[in-house]
Amino acid sequence: MNRGETPTLTIEIDQDGLDLTKAKAIRVTFLQNSTEKTTKELDAISVRNASTLAVKLSQAETLALSEGTVFIQAKIKMDSDNVLVTDIVKQRIDTY
């Protein structure tokens, strides 16, 4: 991912029994150096299928990232049992 671009990130979440199309709430947070840089809520996240999310970042959001590693965390609240599933996704994206 390059700073200043407007990428759409596809995030695969492969966890048994999890169906993202039935999620009541989804929050995707981008962190760098243990600092929250930006957060996207369900209305800004596209659920493509039962295990795939698409998150678009704005130019300002990518410019807020410095060179290094970005951690992505997803928190998902399911409608069925009202349980918050956290830290499903932690992947590295090098920015330059």
- Looking at residue 48, which CATH number applies to its domain? 2.60.40
79 or 85, higher pLDDT: 79
Q: Per the structure, how many domains does the chain have?
A: 1
Where would I find the H helices in the chain?
Answer: 59-63
With 0.75 as the threshold, say if the pTM is over it.
Answer: yes
What is the pLDDT averaged over residues 57-65?
86
Domain hosting residue 36, numbered range? 8-95
Lowest mean pLDDT among 13-22, 68-77, 82-91: 82-91
What pLDDT is attached to residue 45?
Answer: 84
Q: What is the largest CA-CA distance in the chain?
A: 41
Across the chain, mean pLDDT equals 79
Distance of CA 64 to the CA centre of its chain: 16
Report the alpha-carbon distance of residue 43 to residue 40 in Å, rounded.
8
Q: What percent of the chain has pLDDT over 90?
A: 5
Confidence of residue 49 (pLDDT cuts 50, 70, 90): very high
The C-alpha angle 48, 52, 58, rounded to 5 degrees, equals 75
3 part of a folded domain: no
